[in-house]
A and B are shown apart, each in its own frame.
Chain A
Amino acid sequence: GAVVSQHPSRVICKSGTSVKIECRSLDFQATTMFWYRQFPKKSLMLMATSNEGSKATYEQGVEKDKFLINHASLTLSTLTVTSAHPEDSSFYICSASLEEQFFGPGTRLTVL
């Protein structure tokens, strides 16, 4: 149990386009989901906390207009990287919380 999926697993896009990443809890309902970003050989940095039915809470230094988060249901949260630029290239990982956090497999974003 407690499986979290992410889609897509990899995406390559042109600079200036927007990219949407989905995070789903497959076998449980999660009122809270978290989005992380990971640079090569670095640890995970929390970007935002997503609560179902309410606005996301962003960590200091994370642009909320750049990284749009929607948590429309208890099993789905989406992260949209708007007007992506090469510096947004990174590994994005979500987690869904049932007290313990269960992590998705990650999405590798490459912006050309």
Chain B
Amino acid sequence: KQEVTQIPAALSVPEGENLVLNCSFTDSAIYNLQWFRQDPGKGLTSLLLIQSSQREQTSGRLNASLDKSSGRSTLYIAASQPGDSATYLCAVTLRDSSYKLIFGSGTRLLVRP
């Protein structure tokens, strides 16, 4: 059974810091891995999607890497801003006919001004 874990559960940093969020998964048979952002009481915003054949994806100040063999992904946020404060969720898509997404428990990020 696929399990997704995110560390740390919560993180508080001063504005301007570069930071890394971690995601690990137990089964390397994935179709892709996604990082999402969720603001309180809101839905999900997709940040980056990495296909299983890819090693990383970049969008602006965000960079996500994928090491399928070790079951790990990292989300790197450069020059953090207070507007980055949110919960970040990673999720893997199962490589079976269901295309189900299995979510991690999330990292709650607070960027202090």
Contact = CB atoms under 8 A, between A and B. Distances in A.
A99 interface: yes
* A contact patch SS: strand
B25 to A, nearest CB: 13
A20 B104 CA distance: 28
Contact of B98 (A6, A49, A103, A104): A49
B43 interface: yes
Contact of B43 (A32, A46, A93): A93
Contacts of A44: 44, 89, 91, 101, 103
B43 A97 contact: no
Contact of A93 (B44, B46, B104, B108): B44
Contact of B44 (A45, A49, A100, A103): A103
Given A43-B105, A44-B89, A106 B42 contact: yes
* B contact patch SS: strand
B100 A49 contact: yes
Nearest to B31: A99
Q: Interface size class for chain B?
A: 20 to 34
Contacts of B41: 91, 106, 108
Interface string A34-53: 10000001111110010000
A43 B89 contact: yes
A104 B43 contact: yes
Contact of A43 (B46, B49, B106): B106
A51 to B, nearest CB: 10
**Which of B91, B98, B101, B104 counts the most A-chain CB atoms under 10 A from its CB?**
B101
A108 B105 CA distance: 19
Given A100-B34, A106-B41, 10 more contacts: A32-B99, A34-B101, A41-B108, A43-B103, A43-B104, A91-B41, A97-B99, A100-B32, A101-B93, A108-B41
Interface of A: 6, 32, 34, 41-46, 49, 91, 93, 95, 97, 99-106, 108
Interface of B: 32, 34, 36, 41-44, 46, 49, 89, 91, 93, 98-106, 108
10 contacts: A34-B100, A34-B101, A42-B105, A43-B89, A44-B44, A44-B91, A46-B100, A49-B98, A93-B43, A103-B44
